[in-house]
């Protein structure tokens, strides 16, 4: 076999992802708020762009060639854009929409750390960490203990639980470990180490999947004949000194007494125990139930709890009521989640009259209308446009800079216009496919996938996916995200397919209307759907949809009294 060099010629086509095209693609998936922020940033960075209003549009003087300025979403592109129309605007854009080509990085927040938001400044509230740090600064402890506390507080999650174990913290920060050991040796810590401490506590950390700590039993290594005379290998010691871990645990227990009570807990059991201890119930029946029988309490098996605690059922019920009043998530009051007003990107509303008057925006008794209010409308400044047109032969850096900015501005306006048109086309297609839903509600929602809409408007599936992300539509049935109308289905046989969202809604209604003392199991819900609605669905499918709706199983939904 011989190796030699050869020259070959190939003719192929590929889409070149220019920066302008990447910007246009990213515009597709931006939400309304993100689009407004991007336009504001463009007005700052591009001096040839300016905001236009309806008054300025009507007062716009016609140009010598009879054309007016380009306005985002409505007007024609400037002459500079027309010259490059074939190479930049139509060819690249249309090729991307129909082919789905071009993998680009996920969008991120734009650089704008110096933004000033007056409203946010006025309504600013302390976070959980800030609130606990303020209490730590007021505590009468040494600077070393303050350093320990700051690290612990920095590892609290939004619910107030500690996500890093003390052992992990000290093993990763040897400098802090040695500093604590040094101050312990000199007796310079205000709190000092705990006299009695289970070493297993130092390995506790909060895990959302399993809040309760588990003790893993280590298997003894096999003994071979040649090792019989050797002494047994000692258990691997923790790389931190026990008294250092004990002193750190002491600081954590101080933090757990701060407001809100229970902050810094590592699992639900410890969180509830701290709150019961704060009201001087340590060792009492509620505390004993939390400490020993939390799993039974979770399953609401109060009779078994009463047998194990050797207590009356009435006393266990009273203890259960008290425990239910405790806060399982101490950080909840400091959550930054706030209700946000949704501004729809497009409207679908019912109209009556001659369909021919509305043209393609009308489908049956419904009309689709874009919501352009609030989105800044752009145009190229007349002064800079005149400079570019009157100095065609100028090769100076200033002239090149102005031409580049005009070109970028025209592309941005064209991209925004294309984005709005694509939203409108996708919404029309959704209205066509889900017409019965808009007429009669969720029970008439039919299965729909991205491919159906993509084929209808002749674009790629990725384009439909991007344009339906974080976009909302106002309909007679309510406000929905555009992705809401894309749903899978369950085959019922004979070609009939039921939407999964319809089944979820029916499951929700069944559970909402059930007897709280005798909640329905997943099997009973499946039988109810089959008998009442003639919908065939498996028990595991009911369980899957119930979990997707964040609904508990029957044994945890049951009310004891």
**% of the chain surpassing 70 pLDDT:** 77
**Global pTM value:** 0.62
- Which H, E and C letters describe 308-347, residue by residue? HHCCCHHHHHHHHHHHHCCCCCCCHHHCCCCCCCCCCCEE
Torsion angle in degrees (nearest 10) through CA of 298, 301, 303, 306: -20
Q: How far is CA 191 from the centre of its chain?
A: 41
Q: What is the per-residue pLDDT for 293?
A: 92
Which class would CATH give 489-557?
mainly alpha
Q: What is the per-residue pLDDT for 161?
A: 94
Cite the residue boundaries of each domain of the chain with CATH code 1.10.10.60. 489-557
Structure tokens at 176: 């802090």
Nearest of 424, 463, 418 to residue 90 by alpha carbon: 418
Quick one: 120 exposed, middle or buried, by C-beta within 10 A (0-12, 13-18, 19+)? exposed
- Cα angle at 253 between 251 and 254, to 5 degrees? 65
| Nearest-angstrom CA–CA distance, 560 and 323 | 14
Contact 407, 81 (CB under 8 A): yes
| Nearest-angstrom CA–CA distance, 437 and 476 | 10
- Segment (H or E) for 52: strand 49-52
Q: What does the DSSP 8-state code read for residue 221?
A: P
- Residue 145 has a CB neighbour count (10 Å cut-off) of 24
| Nearest-angstrom CA–CA distance, 523 and 487 | 24
Structure tokens at 396: 């100076």
Structure tokens at 226: 């040649």
Q: What is the per-residue pLDDT for 94?
A: 55
Q: What is the per-residue pLDDT for 82?
A: 42
Digit-coded pLDDT (tens) for 130-171: 999 999 999 989 999 999 999 999 999 999 999 989 988 888
Contact 261, 326 (CB under 8 A): no
3-state helix, strand, coil in the chain (%, to 5): 50, 5, 40
Q: What is the per-residue pLDDT for 359?
A: 55
Q: Is 496 helix (H, G, I), strand (E, B) or coil?
A: strand
Q: What is the per-residue pLDDT for 456?
A: 92
| Nearest-angstrom CA–CA distance, 454 and 175 | 59
| Nearest-angstrom CA–CA distance, 394 and 200 | 77
Structure tokens at 337: 């989640």
Which residue carries 């959980």 as its tokens?
A: 128
Structure tokens at 141: 């402890």
Q: Is the torsion defined by CA of 115, 119, 120, 126 positive or negative?
A: positive
- Cα angle at 209 between 204 and 215, to 5 degrees? 40
Structure tokens at 205: 């950390």
Q: How far is CA 367 from the centre of its chain?
A: 32
Torsion angle in degrees (nearest 10) through CA of 436, 441, 443, 445: 50
Q: How many C-alpha atoms does 354 have within 13 Å on its Cβ side?
A: 2
Q: Is the torsion defined by CA of 530, 536, 538, 541 positive or negative?
A: negative
Q: Is 132 helix (H, G, I), strand (E, B) or coil?
A: helix
Q: pLDDT tens digits for the chain (561 residues)?
A: 667 888 888 888 776 667 767 777 888 888 888 899 999 999 999 999 998 866 555 555 444 443 434 444 444 444 444 444 444 444 455 555 555 544 443 434 434 444 444 444 445 567 899 999 999 999 989 999 999 999 999 999 999 999 989 988 888 888 888 988 888 888 888 887 887 787 788 888 777 544 455 444 445 444 433 334 444 444 344 467 888 889 899 999 999 999 999 999 999 999 999 999 999 999 999 999 999 999 998 888 889 999 999 999 999 999 999 999 999 999 988 876 555 678 899 999 888 765 455 555 677 889 999 998 888 899 999 888 888 887 766 667 888 888 899 998 998 999 999 999 999 999 999 999 999 999 988 888 889 999 999 999 998 898 899 999 889 999 999 999 999 999 888 877 776 788 888 899 999 999 998 888 889 999 999 999 988 888 888 899 999 999 989 898 888 888 777
Contact 269, 291 (CB under 8 A): yes
Q: What does the DSSP 8-state code read for residue 448?
A: B
């Amino acid at each position: 076999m011989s190796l030699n060099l050869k020259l070959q010629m190939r003719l192929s086509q590929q889409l070149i992802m220019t920066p302008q095209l990447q910007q246009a693609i990213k515009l597709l998936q931006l939400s309304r708020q993100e689009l407004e922020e991007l336009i504001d940033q463009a007005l700052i960075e591009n001096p040839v762009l300016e905001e236009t209003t309806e008054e300025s549009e009507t007062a716009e003087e016609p140009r010598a060639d009879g054309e007016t300025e380009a306005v985002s979403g409505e007007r024609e592109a400037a002459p500079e854009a027309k010259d490059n129309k074939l190479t930049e605007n139509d060819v690249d854009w249309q090729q991307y929409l129909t082919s789905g080509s071009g993998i680009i990085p996920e969008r991120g927040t734009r650089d704008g750390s110096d933004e000033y938001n007056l409203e946010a400044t006025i309504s600013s509230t302390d976070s959980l960490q800030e609130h606990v740090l303020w209490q730590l600064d007021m505590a009468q402890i040494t600077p070393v203990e303050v350093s320990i506390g700051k690290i612990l507080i920095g590892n609290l999650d939004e619910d107030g639980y500690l996500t890093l174990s003390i052992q992990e913290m000290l093993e990763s920060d040897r400098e802090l470990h040695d500093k604590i050991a040094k101050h312990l040796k000199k007796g310079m810590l205000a709190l000092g180490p705990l006299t009695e401490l289970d070493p297993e506590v130092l390995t506790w950390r909060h895990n959302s999947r399993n809040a309760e700590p588990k003790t893993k039993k280590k298997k003894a290594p096999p003994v071979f004949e040649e090792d019989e005379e050797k002494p047994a290998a000692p258990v691997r010691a923790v790389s931190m000194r026990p008294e250092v871990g004990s002193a750190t645990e002491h600081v954590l227990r101080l933090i757990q007494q701060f407001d809100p009570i229970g902050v810094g807990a590592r699992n639900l059991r410890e969180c509830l125990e701290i709150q019961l201890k704060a009201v001087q119930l340590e060792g009492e029946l509620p505390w004993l139930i939390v400490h020993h029988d939390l799993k039974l309490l979770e399953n609401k098996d109060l009779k078994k709890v009463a047998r194990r605690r050797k207590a009356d059922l009435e006393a266990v019920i009273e203890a259960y009521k008290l425990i239910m009043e405790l806060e399982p998530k101490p950080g909840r009051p400091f959550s930054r989640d706030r209700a946000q007003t949704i501004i729809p990107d497009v409207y679908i509303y019912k109209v009556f009259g001659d369909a021919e008057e509305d043209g393609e925006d009308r489908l049956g008794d419904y009309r689709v209308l874009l919501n352009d209010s609030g989105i800044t409308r752009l145009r190229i400044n007349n002064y800079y446009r005149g400079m570019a047109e009157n100095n065609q032969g100028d090769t100076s850096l200033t002239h090149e800079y102005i031409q580049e900015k005009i070109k970028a501005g025209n592309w941005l306006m064209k991209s925004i216009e294309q984005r709005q048109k694509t939203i409108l086309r996708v919404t029309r297609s959704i209205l066509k496919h889900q017409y019965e839903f808009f007429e009669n509600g969720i029970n008439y929602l039919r299965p729909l996938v991205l491919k159906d809409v993509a084929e209808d408007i002749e674009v790629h599936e990725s384009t439909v996916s991007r344009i339906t992300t974080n976009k909302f539509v106002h309909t007679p049935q309510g406000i929905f995200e555009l992705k809401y109308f894309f749903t899978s289905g369950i085959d019922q046989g004979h070609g009939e397919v039921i939407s999964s969202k319809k089944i979820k809604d029916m499951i929700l209604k069944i559970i909402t209307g059930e007897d709280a003392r005798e909640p329905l199991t997943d099997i009973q819900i499946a039988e109810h759907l089959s008998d009442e609605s003639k919908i065939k669905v498996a028990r595991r499918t009911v369980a899957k949809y119930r979990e997707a709706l964040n609904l508990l199983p029957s044994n945890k939904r049951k009310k004891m009294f």
